[in-house]
Structure 1
Amino acid sequence: MTVRTRRRPRTRIGWRAVGTWAAVAGVLFFTLFPAYFMVASSVSVQTGSGTDVLLPEALTLETFHYVLTEAGFLLYLRNSLVVALITVLGSCVLALLAATAVARFRFRMRTSILVMVLVVQMVPLEALVIPLFLQVRDLQMLNSLIGLSIVYIALSVPFAVWMLRGFVAAVPVEVEEAAYIDGASWGRMFWSVLFPLVAPGLVATGIFSFIVAWNEFILALTFLNEGDKYTVAVGLRQFFGQYTTDWGAMMAASTIITLPVMLFFLAVQRGLVSGLVQGAVKG
């Protein structure tokens, strides 16, 4: 007597797998195609022929040489790096101190301050251009990388405070009390106990501040009026003419601008993943 075993239909599972892979491929294509088009346009000889650059027949690096030497993009990169580093350090330090204050100490108007910080984050950037310009002008810091960095720090701190507040609040108070019992001062506890525990949150905050300082255009264009102080976002507009656009140079410059952000992400990706996971679970 033979026993027949029923086979499970695989058609539904097969189509489900095909649909999943198709969705993943669509998302990857939608995400990576602009980057591919940018890089292909920057190395293609046929820079102004539209879709012909998708599969370039001849490659060249002359556009990169022109951008880095004759167009002065090395100077713009240096200015942007200075502004970004100052912004990251300043916003992380201020946000960590403010987040520790609102998460650990009880004082009057504590909730009101948190609400005000959140409201400031919701104000459109265009509405802040003129007030910030007047303040920077009164401080005599126009056309200054330091002045621009201070403005970026002011824009980054509200979001950074809200992000770090969750990390500080997730640290058990008993850990700090144990440090006090062992004889540590508040400064010693802050540096040796609290700071290492919230370091992943600082990484996520630093990435946000870096992107704000690196990609911002309106404020940089408004506050800087000398070519030797331009950042990369402002320097990119020199390739746009009144009647023509140097697409090859613009794409090469865009590729160069993208590389520091990618390298920064690769350098801190482990801390970023840890920080996002901890913030999602404990925050």
Structure 2
Amino acid sequence: MNNLPVQWMAEQSQRGRHLCLILDSTAVPGIHQALLHQLTHEHYRSVYRETAVAALSVGGPFIFSIDSLNPSSLNELLEGQTRDWGWLASIENHSIAILVKHWRERLLIGKRPQQALYRFHDNRVLARALAHLPESAYPEYLGPVISACFWQGEQWATVDNPASGEYPVPDAAQWLATPAPVNQERAILLVNVGQYLLAEHSEDLARLPEALSPRAWLIAQLDLAQRWGWQTPEQLHFLVVERLRETHTPGIKNWEPRPEEHAQAHFERLRGERFPEVKTWR
């Protein structure tokens, strides 16, 4: 087993801290199910449960209390082919509910209907945020997490929170301004939009042709958005929702941009065709 996470877990336990596993259940479904069978209900929480995205709770992130587990039980996670499954955290004893509350409050980004899910459970998102945040911003971001251990692409890393505790979400959350690599940003966008459609437009998704997977369809729409230069949440929301609706109820006659038509004018023209009662005021 890798030495750094094992050493980190031993040190945190020696200091009387409680060990938690923040797990992306879709990344390692077999391990997720195994932990659900090994641990009793009081030792894990579904973060999406009791939130606006409760419909996604079965496949969403889970937080497991792992103090009772033998470290060898985590061998497959720490030594497996994929290490992008989540991260480890230490907290004060009996404060797992506080940790869940902390991330639930930071879960949704933006306002309806352009909301997105913040993938706090993705170690790549965590590593990128911590790399760009000043240490003074760690407490508001990590909250009750005293220390974290995570894979950051090529090696394991740890970070300590200088003032762990309960904090309200700031008006301008610095971690949301963290730049993302283009390929990673695309992957996160794919997951977020897919989860939104599953929660809000599941009936329309079910109407897609059997030969076309929802993922393949969504990738094609994001490719289209990139080609057209549609980047804002409003533009992406209109594109995926309306094109999904049009797979069974045609509406807009021609989606392609006109010659020399820039991205915003293209968007406003199509929106005006779909919703003629909506006027754009300048």
**TM-score normalised by structure 2 residue count:** 0.25
| Structure with larger RCO (C-alpha < 8 A, sep 6+) | 1
Between Structure 1 and Structure 2, the one with more strand by share is 2
Q: Greater CA radius of gyration, 1 or 2? A: 1
**TM-score normalised by structure 1 residue count:** 0.25
